[in-house]
Amino acid sequence: MSKYGHALARSNFKDVRNDLFIRGEWRPSTSGMRVDVYDPSTEDVITSVANATVEDGTAAIDAAAGAAKIWAGTAPRRRADILMRAHQIMTERSEWLAELISRENGKALPDARGEVTYAAEFFRWYAEEGVRLNGEISTSPSGNNRIIVQYQPVGIALLITPWNFPAAMATRKIGPALAAGCTCILKPATETPLTAYAIAEILTEAGVPAGVVNVITTNKSGPVISAMLHDPRVRKLSFTGSTEVGRILLREAADQIISCSMELGGNAPFLVFDDADIDAAIDGAMIAKMRNGGEACTAANRFYVQRGVLEAFSAKLAERMKAIKVGVGYDPSTRLGPLINASSRNKVASLVDNAVARGARIVTGGTASGGKGFFYDATVLVDVPAGADILNEEIFGPVAPIVAFDNEEDGVALANQTEYGLVAYIYTKDLARGLRVSEQIESGMIALNRGLVSDAAAPFGGVKQSGLGREGGHHGLLEFTEAKYIATAW
Ligand code: NAD
């Protein structure tokens, strides 16, 4: 049986590629150094990956530069066929990939399976979108000439991804980059490198030529990425990660005026109005809060519930959270796996402790399980006071803090009390109110009577300190292009 045919977690994943992927070849780091990869469910080392140096980063740019002209000149249909094949292979390999993601990230298998489907969809969507990169033609208002606009590949793209969606954050960037005709270098998170290398294998099998996609892993992200951003051949940075690191990279990218797309942190409000369908709101809350164990930029971070339904909502949410089975991510019965590492778990625990010290009450959860693995129970907090850190910081864990509000104006004001603006959730049966509130909330995305916004076909992204630019949809393709304007007359 091929390695992709293994049943659940029987594979030890020692055979997954773990060297740098440059110019279509697997090679060790020039330093010979390696970085361990951990299983957050057990704290065991799974394997190690090559630890790229500044020289390796340059070699990856050399490879991307060498392939750039040919790839930009490849027919859009040919590029689309390759992406479509990558979608197919990823789908065929979905169970194996889900186990791999669960093993290195810790997420429960149903979440990992959902991620693989979502991730593969970016290849399919951009296969379809890549043959529809239409330009524009118009007559200048003066009547003197025509304005022709053509979308050209922006150039070599540096793609940096976080650990929380190791497959989807990579394909959300590689799909549009390749469809637009760009070559790229992917630098995945140090915590979850194996999924990125597995995707490189899939792309190679799908027919992506050598040098078009390169993957390097390093625990020296600062110097390696800084050197790459100072190489004039790199023209695009597409980053997904924390606002803190995003800010550093925007400064780095400023020196060469590199085009930047930044998908950063969030602090999503979840508003429940008195007139909401409470059962639907609970179902939505469970998805918005607990998808990926709360380790999502889109995770509902603050629950604002109108006073008339506060008790009913809090009791029902606590009941559902209490019933969640916590355990090893790749155990089929698990619904909540561990957090990514000890510092993430400690951060979640300290946010809960801080809220409780300020007067919040724990309805369920509130404990970090002892023993091996970075577990934290699904937790609901009520009476969370305004100054609690948990309302201002990204929790990135399975904790739902609930706060009461009195009227629509207060609800909107509370929702906007953050420097972030990625997504907001609104539950109300009154569509006019839903749309009115949607317009007033400062965020790039709104889920109205829904617990999920992520969709390969939609423009995903934030306002304020949640980022710049959009990924997914047609907008995501344009991020990897430059509009070339030709003035002419005939
Ligand atoms: P992070 O910012 O710590 O790391 C993201 C990536 O940047 C990783 O690959 C990391 O190795 C790299 N990195 C870290 N320091 C760097 C440096 N100095 N120079 C260059 N690269 C560096 O984020 P994380 O902990 O991996 O992910 C969680 C964060 O990502 C959360 O804030 C979450 O909200 C955000 N996120 C946002 C979206 C979105 O679409 N808006 C999606 C997923 C995650």
Q: For residue 273, report the distance from its CA to the centre of ligand 1, in Å.
A: 33
Every domain of the chain with CATH number 3.40.605.10 lies at: 20-264+466-487
pLDDT at 396 over 80: yes
* Contact 264 CB / ligand 1 (< 6 Å): yes
Residue 6, pLDDT score = 47
Q: For residue 485, report the distance from its CA to the centre of ligand 1, in Å.
A: 35
Q: Please, what CATH class does the domain formed by 268-456 belong to?
A: alpha beta
Residue 427 near residue 407, CB atoms below 8 Å: no
Strand order of the β-sheet with 259-263 is: 25-27, 20-22, 213-215, 184-187, 156-160, 234-240, 259-263, 467-468
Please name the amino acid found at residue 330. Answer: Y
So which residues are the catalytic ones?
A: 263, 297
d(CA 379, CA 320): 10
Residue 2, pLDDT score = 55
pLDDT at 5 over 80: no
pLDDT at 10 over 60: no
Which residue among 194, 215, 221, 237 has the greatest number of ligand 1 atoms within 8 angstroms of its CB, and so is best to mutate?
Answer: 221
Of 74 and 1, the one with more pLDDT: 74
Confidence of residue 475 (pLDDT cuts 50, 70, 90): very high
Q: Please, what CATH class does the domain formed by 20-264+466-487 belong to?
A: alpha beta
pTM of the entire predicted model: 0.97
**Ligand 1 atom 11: the closest Cα is on which residue?**
189
Q: For residues 380-401, give the mean pLDDT.
A: 98
Confidence of residue 4 (pLDDT cuts 50, 70, 90): low
Nearest to 266 by CA among 297, 290, 235: 297
Q: Can you tell me which atom of ligand 1 is nearest the CA of 241?
A: 30
Question: Where is average pLDDT lowest: 4-18, 61-75, 147-161, 207-221?
Answer: 4-18
**CA distances (Å), origin 307, targets 84, 311, 428:** 50, 8, 14
* Contact 469 CB / ligand 1 (< 6 Å): no
Every domain of the chain with CATH number 3.40.309.10 lies at: 268-456
Supply the DSSP string of 359-377, one letter for each residue: T-EEEE------SSS----
Q: For residue 22, report the distance from its CA to the centre of ligand 1, in Å.
A: 23
Q: What percent of the chain has pLDDT over 70?
A: 98
Which residue among 242, 264, 295 has the greatest number of ligand 1 atoms within 8 angstroms of its CB, and so is best to mutate?
Answer: 242
pLDDT at 3 over 80: no
Task: Name the one residue in this structure whose structure tokens are 């590029």.
Answer: 79
Residue 129 near residue 139, CB atoms below 8 Å: no
**Ligand 1 atom 8: the closest Cα is on which residue?**
189
Sheet strands (E) in 20-165: 20-22, 25-27, 34-39, 44-50, 136-139, 146-153, 156-160
pLDDT tens per residue, range 90-129: 999 999 999 999 999 999 999 999 999 999 999 999 999 9
Confidence of residue 13 (pLDDT cuts 50, 70, 90): confident
pLDDT at 227 over 90: yes
Residue 270, pLDDT score = 99
Q: For residue 78, report the distance from its CA to the centre of ligand 1, in Å.
A: 33
d(CA 149, CA 66): 27
**Ligand 1 atom 21: the closest Cα is on which residue?**
221
pLDDT tens per residue, range 425-469: 999 999 999 999 999 999 999 999 999 999 999 999 999 999 999
Residue 7, pLDDT score = 46
Q: Average pLDDT of the chain?
A: 96
Residue 371, pLDDT score = 81
